[in-house]
Amino acid sequence: MKIVTVLGARPQFIKAAALSRELRKRHQEVLVHTGQHYDYGMSGVFFDSLEIPPPDVNLGVGSGNHGAQTAAMLAGIEEVLVKEKPDWMLIYGDTNSTLAGAVAASKLHVPVAHVEAGLRSFNRRMPEEVNRVVADHLSRLLLCPSQTAVDHLAAEGIRDDVHLVGDVMLDVLNWAKERAAPKSAQTLAQLGVKQGEYLLATIHRGENTDSPERLGAIVRALNALEETVLFPVHPRTRKAIAASGQQLGSHVRAIDPLGYFEMVTASAAARLILTDSGGLQKEAYWLGVPCVTMRDETEWVETVAAGWNTLTGADCDQIVQKVRHFVPPSARAALYGDGRCAARCATLLQ
């Protein structure tokens, strides 16, 4: 069986790490990198450290407005599909690369398999929400991380070939935790932080970075905190903060984006995580680290229901109060599967 996989952005490289390994045991995979993320720290480092095979094709699309970026991807992916004539198109998550893969393949009648299907924030102002709704409706095989996701699809009339497989990020986290552990003391020393004595923050969502009010409130909150904040900064966030003219307090340590192993170590050792990322909300849960999510809603509602994640929006006082006082319960049930999602996806594709 031949599968064309489309990747483009950091979280997709992480997800593909588990499934590519599994697929290549039995099938031919043609890996297409759209080039949406192109900095070594946002892309190459993940291929190298997570042992993802190098892309067969790199479309080199780069950054741009949504229309231009997605259109360039569509044209490039179409060419690959015409040449390769695969049995499946495999897409991950909710980025513009996901959308382009889904649209290009469905126009050429190549069946689409969507990993992380069925997530909804019910906020259509997020580009990710638009991407995932379209991708799900064009997909033939829907691989869902949670029962909530299965239910969302059913509510939209998608009931055939919907499977609850768990979350492929848990497979990758388990794999990486073992490998990161022997170096964790060294990594924390290099980052200049001590186990349990700092906060880890990430911000990159357009809804936060592209709004001066929201970004301003988040930066004010980080500056108001008493603890060391380790802050690996996404390139778009770095530009937005620089453009806003705001200064980060000296306890906020803005560093370049981290590789996956370093990020796993930094997450596991943090006292608390502050984020607007989707993946990090789950990783915080799996690692048993309390999470404050600086968004108005989340797709990962189970982490909130379990009491380990709390939403603050971009409200400065809320963020500060929650960081100071949020205490999850001692119990933490298993969420999003058992870490064997990739094998299940490979079997379903077969």
Residue (131 or 228) nearer to ligand UD1, CB: 131
CA distances from 284 to 202, 278, 308 (A): 12, 10, 8
Residue (98 or 184) nearer to ligand UD1, CB: 98
10 binds ligand UD1 (CB under 6 A): yes
For ligand UD1, the binding residue among 5, 96, 228, 312 (CB under 6 A) is 96
Q: How far apart are CA 202 and CA 232, in angstroms?
A: 6
Using the rule CB under 6 A, give the single segment among 5-13, 15-23, 105-113, 173-181 that binds ligand UD1: 5-13
* Cα dihedral 117, 120, 124, 128 in deg (nearest 10): -50
What's the DSSP call for residue 116? Answer: T
Structure tokens at 116: 């992380």
128 binds ligand UD1 (CB under 6 A): yes
Please report how close the Cβ of residue 87 comes to ligand UD1 at its closest, in angstroms. 26
**DSSP string over 137-177:** HH-SEEEESSHHHHHHHHHTT--TTEEE---HHHHHHHHHH
Q: How far apart are CA 25 and CA 199, in angstroms?
A: 40
132 binds ligand UD1 (CB under 6 A): no
- The contact mask relative to ligand UD1 for 232-271 (x = CB under 6 A, - = no) is --xxx--x--------------------------------
Q: How far apart are CA 175 and CA 172, in angstroms?
A: 5
Please report how close the Cβ of residue 69 comes to ligand UD1 at its closest, in angstroms. 7
Residue (294 or 349) nearer to ligand UD1, CB: 294
Structure tokens at 227: 């603890």
**CB hemisphere CA count around 146 (13 angstroms):** 17
Residue (37 or 253) nearer to ligand UD1, CB: 37
299 binds ligand UD1 (CB under 6 A): no
For ligand UD1, the binding residue among 5, 20, 36, 184 (CB under 6 A) is 36
37 binds ligand UD1 (CB under 6 A): yes
Q: Which residues form the interface with ligand UD1 (CB under 6 A)?
A: 9-11, 36-39, 42-43, 63, 94-96, 127-128, 204, 234-236, 239
